[in-house]
Amino acid sequence: MRLSDYDVNKPYTTTLVSSERITPVNWEAEVRHLVLRLPNAPFEYVEGQSIGVLVPGPHEFGNAHHLRLYSIANPRGGDDGRGDTISICVRRCFSIDEISGERYPGRASNFLCDANPGDPVQITGPYGNAFEIPISNDLNLLMVGTGTGIAPFRAFVKRIYQRHGQWKGKVRLFYGAKSGVEMLYLNDLRQDLALYYDQASFKAFEAISSRPHYDAPPDLDRAIVENGAEIWEMVQDPKTMVYVAGLRNAAQKFEAGMEQLAGSPEAWEAAKAALIAEQRYAELLYD
């Protein structure tokens, strides 16, 4: 779906409650965990959905608005369970002009990363339902996220263990980042996902880039191949759901790893088509 297809006719004004940097200040990549207050929101949201953020104008090229989407990073009810907040995880983005090499700040992400507690933030949505938490707690969940693609899985994992206490199926999170300090919610600054390490069903696998300073995507393919036996067994088990989220080009490493496990690109293509047909595969990828 194109951004212009999203319904933005009923924007809703939230207030920024807090903005916490979750990558170190001396590290180039800035990612923030933002909490927005929703007083008397006319909507409810669930894990796996996204919200739209409308940046205040004026806008270039006569555009009526600048809309960007952000995955909801908390389970329904909010991080504090009180039901009147929503959290998002935002990376400060820049575009690089291919000819001049000049760097231009992305409007939405810089607006959000620069906002201060108390500032209004107009949102739309919630949209989509890429990842639905299965009702049955004996299903296996294979989650693959890169960069800010961890956001929906943070919501997912919190919801699973809040609601079900002990999830009976296997929960496996493969998480790729450029470096250890960019492991969002799993670094020295925030350890939200590590809270679930003592759950017998939960295991997280980290994949970091072997060349973090060359903009190389995380080595997800290596992590996939290293854990190939379990992953391939899970993929073939009708009780396994597969979810992939994050930047499209980083997710290609997931594809490369799965092609190796399957034996060839064609074999993975066929296996993936079967997963989709069986409604056991969902992805939330962006450029």
Ligand X SMILES: Cc1cc2nc3c(=O)[nH]c(=O)nc-3n(C[C@H](O)[C@H](O)[C@H](O)COP(=O)(O)OP(=O)(O)OC[C@H]3O[C@@H](n4cnc5c(N)ncnc54)[C@H](O)[C@@H]3O)c2cc1C
Distance between alpha carbon 150 and the CA centroid of its chain, in Å? 4
**Residue placing its CB nearer to ligand X in the complex, 151 or 171:** 151
Which span sits near ligand X by CB under 6 A: 62-70, 176-184, 193-201, 264-272?
Answer: 62-70
By the 8 A CB rule, do 127 and 51 touch? yes
Residue 286 interacts with ligand X (CB under 6 A): yes or no: yes
Phi-psi region of 81 (alpha: psi -120 to 50; beta: other; left: phi over 0): left
Q: Which of residues 221-260 bind ligand X (CB under 6 A)?
A: 247
For ligand X, which residue of 48, 147, 218, 257 counts as binding (CB under 6 A)? 147
Contact 191, 183 (CB under 8 A): no
> For residues 68, 81, 280 and 191, what is the CA-based torsion angle, rounded to 10 degrees?
80
69: contact with ligand X by CB under 6 A: yes
User: Which residue type occupies 12?
Assistant: Y
DSSP codes of every residue in 209-266: -S-GGGTPPP-HHHHHHHTHHHHHHHHHSTTEEEEEEEEHHHHHHHHHHHHHHHSSHH
Q: Is 154 in the site for ligand X (CB under 6 A)?
A: no
- Work out which of 35, 36, 89, 142 binds ligand X, going by CB under 6 A: 89
Task: Report, in Å, the least distance between residue 127 CB and ligand X.
Answer: 8
Structure tokens given for 242:
């597969």
Stretch that binds ligand X, among 64-72, 78-86, 207-215, 266-274 (CB under 6 A): 64-72
**Closest residue to ligand X in the complex (CB):** 106
Among residues 13, 63, 95, 236, the one that binds ligand X under rule CB under 6 A: 95
Question: What mask of x and - would describe binding to ligand X in positions 25 to 54, judged by CB under 6 A?
Answer: -------------------------x----
Q: Count Cα atoms within 13 angstroms, Cβ side, for 275.
A: 23
29 token code pair: 């990549």
Candidates 35, 151, 171, 208; binder of ligand X (CB under 6 A) is: 151
Report the interface residues with ligand X, using CB under 6 A.
50, 68-71, 88-91, 93, 95, 106-110, 147-148, 151, 247, 284, 286-287
